[in-house]
Chains A and B, each alone.
Chain A
Amino acid sequence: MDWIVGFLVLIIKLALVLGGLLLLAAYLVLLERKFLGRLQIRYGPNRAGPFGVLQPLADTIKMLTKEDAVPEAADRVLFLLAPAVVAAEALLIFAVVPFGTSVTLLGKKIPMVITDLNVGLLFVFALASLGVYGVALGGWASNSKYSLLGGIRGAAQMISYELSLGLSLVPIVMLARSFSLVDIVRAQANYPFILVQPVSFTIFFISAMAETKRIPFDLPEAENELGAGYHTEYSGMRFGLFFLGEYVNLQVFGALVAVFFLGGWRGPILPPVVWFLVKILAVSILMIWVRGTLPRLRYDQLMHLGWKVLIPVALLNIVITGAVLLL
């Protein structure tokens, strides 16, 4: 009996999180387009429904009804699989993200996290490092020059920035003394880690933008040199999956920034889930602002920033944090 209840609760939680993520992804697209529009002194989409609130719906219908074209010379199976890898990887990361305190329902304690893995942080990295396959294989399988170049750039960029991403979080693990995201949030009961680890936060934020291939780091897409980069050949909902993956990734990194640096779901007055959403949105808006302001980096600048600035600083940060913790 207990087993069945537990299973049901899990299924409900999964459905809620998935639905929430997809809905939020759709509206993040709208938010991004609106906000970016205002940054560039335009309105952004405002035709579908009042203030364009139905725009995500219209976009979805459009993408679902478009032809799903596969280039003749493409590697069919890999071509069809690549977008799914990107979207699935992004969605799966949320399995370990805690989005609230546990609530008590009918005398049972239900934790507001799908699974509290004791290697949660590494799980996040494992999945994030798999996201690169969607990009690289999508680019390779399309069998077109632009896609291949985009795929190669994507692979190089993502493995370079994964290093600084991982290294920037080592001090956090050292402070929280756990890999579990739930424990990390618990460790921030008194103060959020951004106050003691601003350097780590900056490195994580920059690397997260590179991992999600957002604008100062969107070399794999680089529309004015590569068409659309690794997803040049994709159409219809398969392109939609890449798109979805990108925006789910945006939320994932928003959520991770919230969990690692902003105290997760903690906050006064409002309920935890709301606080968590607010933090995700705040990080997303910050990322959109960056996108509206900075131009794309050149390839050598990208590599320079990753390997010669972020990684050494992250290593130094680890050593200093370790020294301070030991003293």
Chain B
Amino acid sequence: MTLYGIIFYILAAVIVIATGLAITRRNLVHAVIYLIISFFGSAMLYFLFGAPLLAALEIIIYAGAIMVLFLFIIMMLRVDPTALRRPSLRHWLPAGILGIIYLAVAALVVITDPGSQATLKTAMARPRALGQFLFQRYWLSVEIISFLLLIALIGALYLARAFLKESREQSEGEL
């Protein structure tokens, strides 16, 4: 096993453990922290695989922005962790089935390719190369995704409009 291999397994273990802790914590803030640690792990995996751009984006977007929003909302709402009910079997079941399917597929992949000949190679994807690749080969997907985001943005704007109007009417009614 090379040095990279060792680092890979350490990172993988950290990610799995952190994610496991994240979904079992009752304290929401702690759960968010573990999730951030797991994102960090994935970012470092990307870096290990020679995709520093992806690594940086993972941290900026997931760990740096989305998780802050999660934290923000948790802090605003002040959910009492003891008041949360344990999820019932009906909630558990779909997730459990999907998880089992996932594990089975993974096992299948490992079994059909015993020995796992594909060794870890370290390559380097420069940001420029990645950008060109993305916008030349996959320009259609990029456009579609940006359209989706635009639609979501407009939707959010519309909802906020309706809400604003309502609250304005309400405050006028009070006056």
Binding site for B on A (CB under 8 A): 75, 78, 117-119, 122-123, 125-126, 129-130, 132-133, 136-137, 139-140, 148, 151-152, 155-156, 158-159, 162, 179
Contacts and interface: CB of A to CB of B under 8 A. Distances in A.
A152 B57 contact: no
| B33, B36, B68, B76: residue with the most chain A Cβ atoms closer than 10 Å | B68
A118 B56 contact: no
B60 A132 contact: no
B25 interface: no
Contacts of A125: 56, 60, 64
A130 B63 contact: yes
Given A75-B29, A148-B75, A129 B53 contact: no
A132 B68 contact: yes
A74 B18 CA distance: 23
Nearest to A123: B56
A152 B75 contact: yes
B4 interface: no
B56 A126 contact: yes
B71 A136 contact: yes
Nearest to B27: A75
Contacts, number: 72
Contacts of B29: 75, 78, 137, 140
A155 B65 contact: no
A132 B68 CA distance: 8
Contacts of A162: 64-65
A137 B59 CA distance: 17
Interface residues of B, number: 22
Given A78-B33, A119-B52, A136 B75 contact: yes
A310 to B, nearest CB: 17
B75 A117 contact: no
A136 B53 contact: no
B69 interface: yes
Nearest to B43: A126
Contacts of B53: 119, 122, 179
Contacts of A126: 56, 59-60, 63-64
B75 A151 contact: yes
A118 B60 contact: no
| A123, A129, A156: residue with the most chain B Cβ atoms closer than 10 Å | A129
A152 B126 contact: no
Given A140-B71, A152-B76, 19 more contacts: A118-B126, A119-B56, A125-B56, A126-B59, A126-B64, A129-B63, A130-B64, A136-B71, A136-B72, A137-B29, A137-B33, A137-B71, A148-B75, A152-B75, A155-B72, A155-B75, A156-B72, A159-B64, A159-B69
| A125, A126, A129, A162: residue with the most chain B Cβ atoms closer than 10 Å | A126
Contacts of A179: 53, 127
B59 A129 contact: yes
Contact of B56 (A78, A122, A133, A148): A122
A165 B78 CA distance: 30
Interface string B46-84: 000000110111011001110011011001100000000
Contacts of A132: 64, 68
Q: Which 4 A-B pairs have the closest CB atoms?
A: A129-B64, A122-B56, A126-B59, A119-B52
A255 B127 CA distance: 24
Interface string B110-122: 0000000000000
A155 B60 contact: no
Nearest to B71: A136
| B30, B75, B126: residue with the most chain A Cβ atoms closer than 10 Å | B75
A153 to B, nearest CB: 10
Contacts of B72: 136, 152, 155-156, 159
Nearest to B63: A130
Contacts of A133: 36, 68, 71
A152 to B, nearest CB: 5
| B33, B64, B72: residue with the most chain A Cβ atoms closer than 10 Å | B64
A150 B72 CA distance: 12
B125 to A, nearest CB: 10
A153 B97 CA distance: 41
Contacts of B55: 119
Nearest to A125: B60
A151 B68 CA distance: 11
Nearest to B74: A140
A136 B55 CA distance: 23
A117 B52 contact: yes
A159 B65 contact: yes
A133 to B, nearest CB: 7
